[in-house]
């Protein structure tokens, strides 16, 4: 009986680890998020998606770092469109890709991660996804008000000199 329980527990554990670690959408708070994820299915989607909702025009930076066996590489997409890494390469022997200042319009966006290369002889792995804090992008009217304010300060300073 004890052997049967151990066997069933082993089968259940194997079933759980046979799929990707995250099979749903992970919501990213606007303060940022750093999370480790795993896969077990080789090249392809390593994670379904990360969801990020912003109230207005914003930007965010995303970093993906291999955490398991050296040799894994990743691609990043935003709402189904590929994002080019600003920098990518190896830190030590581990791949790291950085997408800086990704512009977002108001609404909900989906970031997808795809495994594009695996370590030789491995189909499983682990990586770290880091989303920086969301920062608002100033609207053109903000710049106009800034220029007008600086102009008024310059006028007041010039008038005071005269």
Output the domain CATH number for residue 142.
2.60.120
Do residues 50 and 28 make contact, with C-beta atoms less than 8 angstroms apart? yes
> What's the domain count of the chain?
1
- Is 133 domain-assigned? yes
pTM (2 d.p.): 0.65
How big is the chain, counted in residues?
162
Query: Is residue 6 a part of any domain in this protein?
Result: no
HEC states along 48-62?
Answer: EEEEEEECCCEEEEE
Which domain does 97 fall in, by range?
21-161
In this structure, the dihedral spanned by the alpha carbons of residues 27, 60, 114 and 74, taken in order and rounded to 10 degrees, is: -140
How far apart CA 79 and CA 88 sit, in angstroms, is: 21
The predicted-structure confidence for 40-68, as pLDDT tens digits, reads as follows 877 776 565 788 888 888 899 999 999 88
The pLDDT tens digits for 73-104 are: 889 999 999 999 999 999 888 999 999 999 99
Q: Is residue 122 part of a domain?
A: yes
Least confident of 17-26, 88-97, 116-125: 17-26
């Amino acid at each position: 009986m004890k052997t049967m329980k151990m066997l069933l527990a082993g089968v259940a554990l194997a079933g759980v680890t046979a799929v990707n670690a995250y099979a749903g959408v992970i919501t990213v708070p606007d303060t940022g998020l750093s999370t480790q994820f795993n896969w077990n299915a080789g090249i392809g989607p390593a994670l379904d998606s990360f969801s990020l909702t912003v109230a207005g025009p914003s930007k965010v930076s995303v970093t993906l770092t291999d955490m398991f066996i050296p040799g894994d590489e990743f691609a990043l997409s935003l709402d189904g469109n590929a994002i080019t890494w600003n920098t990518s390469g190896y830190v030590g022997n581990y791949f790291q890709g950085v997408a800086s200042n990704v512009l977002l319009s108001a609404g909900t966006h989906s970031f997808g991660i795809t495994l594009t290369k695996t370590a030789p002889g491995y189909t499983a792995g682990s990586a770290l996804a880091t989303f920086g804090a969301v920062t608002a992008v100033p609207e053109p009217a903000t710049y106009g008000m800034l220029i007008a304010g600086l102009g008024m300060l310059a006028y007041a300073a010039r008038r005071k000199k005269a």
